[in-house]
């Protein structure tokens, strides 16, 4: 007896069974090429259109294979993507941390490859596949140790037809748009291949061509929708949308790149003081406008100004010279044996005031969980001499009548941390960062792209302040107004509107990501449950047949 579950039907383009291993090499090469294409889509190469080829190639490669083969193909694509994308993680600490992180991230794509292989038998598989891409990114950005969301498809789209989707569903919706375009492209190619195979059957060939035409239209429709979605959004003006504040961004630079950055902490502080005093001299000469507030980067004072009077006096001199509050990025002792990565509002008259403590310290960089375990793999963990403690308060700070929403360094990659600051009343966003430990790598432009997506997502201007670059001023549409080079001093002064409107993405929060994740997971579970039912039904049928045969034999005996 054959049992068929009507909820799970073969797709029209489901491939015929093939001899095992016949196409594994070709599939592997296809998955690898997709990983390379995704890497080229990210900053450094900036070929954003190639991002769709990742989902497209993995979808094609995993059709008609088993779950375990899908795991392999996803792993291959993940390694070919993450190894070059995250190469900056090994610049000064050796290859092992780079390889370990890349492999860990690639394992998520491995699981994705397995689930794509399973759901390929469903109708409209291209929709479930795109949702599963979002689900994979959601898990990767949360687990383990708070996750590491670097390399999400959406972060490759700082400009282009998908960018505006961030205002409606955040970075997850941008990722979904990219993935859906890729899976529709894959489906269209498979339909054309089926039409080629059916060239001797006119009716079947015509049906395949019609399906291909519809899928091509769908492939083009997604970026068209993204382009149209841009029209009602905020434009590229920094000064429209609310009362303005004059904001200065100071990039003081570091004496040299590398892990000994902390050993240069007095020189770094002096650099930022000196740049701020030079800016004050320009203001006095009438060359630039008097700023209402000044933004310094993360680690601009790695000397605790609460404990070190010299550091406090230096910051005081800078604040009094510029006659405006400065947002200082400082390393502060405490609580207890811990350190705190802290942003301090330093007033020219009253000194230190409101603070924000980084809520997501970076594992193995700012704190080391299970230190003895990780030391077994690399003694570089001991470069983290004291662990940083996570803050608990949202980074909204009052500065000269502006509510600054602050996130520190890698926090810009985490949807929830940015969302909280906007919901908390931020009228502009600030990203304080220190990129000195990553040299002249692609880490800085990759992080800048995240800031650009956040501007669109929140409908806010974004200021990025880095010790060594790239510092930038970003308009609410994600366009770059000002940006600095790497390892060079820089100062910007811009009038920035303080906005209080909310985008749909801000109002919805994590719901679009949750809905898309549930959609993909539901499709996967449907196939799994249907398969279990078929096996049980088949087993029951076989048992009945055996029992009946046995009864007949006994009767004949």
Known catalytic residues are 298, 358, 409
Nearest to residue 51, comparing CAs of 160, 165, 167, 204? 160
d(CA 269, CA 326): 13
Both tokens assigned to 309: 């009077």
The Cα-based distances of 403 to 204, 249, 425 in angstroms read: 63, 16, 7
Helix 95-119, helix 125-140: angle, nearest 10: 150
- State how far Cα 479 lies from the chain centre: 18
| CA 150 – CA 200 distance, rounded (Å) | 48
Question: Using an 8 Å Cβ cutoff, are 168 and 457 in contact?
Answer: no
Nearest residue to 222 (alpha-carbon basis) of 53, 52, 54, 57:
52
Rg (CA), the chain: 27
Closest CA to 72 of 60, 84, 58: 58
The dihedrals phi and psi of 301, each to the nearest 5 degrees, come to: -135, 90
Burial of 314 by CB count in 10 Å (0-12 exposed, 13-18 middle, 19+ buried)? buried
Distance CA 509, CA 502 (A): 11
- The Cα 14–Cα 116 span in angstroms is 13
Written as six digits, the tokens of 263 are 């050993």
DSSP bridge pairs for 494: 247
| Per-residue tokens: 231 | 């029209």
**CA–CA dist 93, 348 (Å, integer):** 39
E strand or H helix at 481: strand 480-483
- Longest alpha-carbon distance in the chain: 115
Helix (H) or strand (E) holding 420: helix 415-423
What is the b/e burial string over 198-217, where b = at least 16 CB atoms within 10 angstroms of the residue's CB? Answer: beeeeeebebbeebbeebbe
Residues 358/304/294/263 CA torsion (nearest 10 deg): -90
């Amino acid at each position: 007896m054959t049992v068929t579950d009507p909820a799970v039907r073969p797709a029209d383009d489901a491939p015929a069974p093939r001899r095992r291993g016949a196409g594994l090499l070709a599939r592997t090469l296809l998955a690898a090429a997709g990983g390379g294409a995704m890497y080229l889509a990210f900053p450094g190469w900036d070929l954003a259109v190639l991002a769709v080829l990742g989902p497209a190639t993995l979808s094609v490669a995993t059709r008609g294979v088993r779950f375990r083969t899908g795991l392999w193909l996803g792993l291959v694509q993940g390694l070919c993507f993450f190894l070059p994308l995250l190469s900056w993680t090994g610049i000064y600490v050796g290859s092992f941390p780079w390889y370990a992180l890349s492999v860990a991230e690639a394992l998520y794509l491995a699981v994705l490859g397995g689930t794509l292989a399973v759901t390929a038998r469903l109708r409209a598989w291209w929709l479930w596949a795109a949702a599963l891409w979002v689900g994979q990114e959601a898990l990767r950005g949360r687990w383990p140790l708070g996750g590491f969301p670097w390399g999400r498809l959406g972060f490759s789209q700082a400009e282009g037809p998908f960018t505006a989707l961030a205002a409606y569903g955040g970075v997850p919706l941008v990722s979904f748009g990219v993935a859906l375009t890729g899976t529709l492209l894959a489906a269209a190619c498979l339909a054309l291949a089926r039409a080629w195979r059916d060239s001797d059957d006119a009716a079947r060939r015509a049906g395949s061509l019609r399906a291909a035409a519809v899928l091509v239209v769908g492939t083009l429709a997604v970026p068209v929708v993204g382009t149209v979605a841009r029209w009602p959004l905020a434009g590229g003006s920094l000064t429209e949308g609310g009362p303005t504040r004059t904001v200065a961004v100071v990039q003081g630079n570091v004496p040299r790149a590398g892990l000994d950055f902390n050993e240069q902490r007095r020189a770094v502080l002096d650099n930022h003081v000196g740049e701020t005093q030079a800016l004050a001299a320009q203001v006095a000469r009438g060359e630039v406008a008097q700023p209402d507030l000044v933004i310094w980067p993360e680690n601009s004072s790695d000397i605790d100004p609460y404990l070190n009077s010299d550091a406090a006096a230096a910051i005081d001199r800078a604040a009094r010279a510029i006659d405006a509050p400065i947002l200082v990025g400082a390393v502060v002792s405490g609580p207890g044996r811990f350190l705190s990565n802290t942003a301090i509002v330093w007033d020219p008259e009253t000194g230190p005031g409101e603070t924000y403590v980084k809520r997501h310290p970076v594992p193995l960089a700012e704190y080391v969980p299970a230190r003895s375990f990780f030391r077994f793999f690399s003694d570089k963990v001991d470069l983290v001499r004291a662990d940083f403690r996570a803050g608990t308060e949202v980074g909204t700070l009052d500065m000269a009548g502006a509510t600054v929403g602050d996130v520190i360094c890698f926090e810009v990659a985490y949807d929830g941390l940015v969302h909280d600051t906007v919901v908390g009343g931020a009228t502009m966003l600030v990203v304080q960062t220190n990129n000195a430990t990553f040299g002249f790598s692609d880490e800085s432009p990759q992080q800048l792209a995240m800031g650009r997506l956040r501007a669109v997502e929140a409908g806010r201007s974004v200021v990025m302040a880095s010790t060594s670059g790239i510092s930038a001023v970003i308009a609410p549409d994600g366009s770059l107004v000002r940006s600095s080079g790497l390892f060079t001093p820089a100062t910007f002064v811009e009038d920035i509107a303080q906005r209080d409107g909310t985008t749909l993405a801000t109002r919805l929060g994590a719901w679009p990501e949750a809905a898309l994740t549930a959609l993909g997971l539901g499709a996967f579970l449907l196939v799994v449950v249907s398969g279990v039912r078929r096996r049980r039904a088949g087993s029951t049928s076989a048992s009945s047949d055996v029992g009946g045969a046995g009864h007949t034999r006994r009767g004949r005996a």
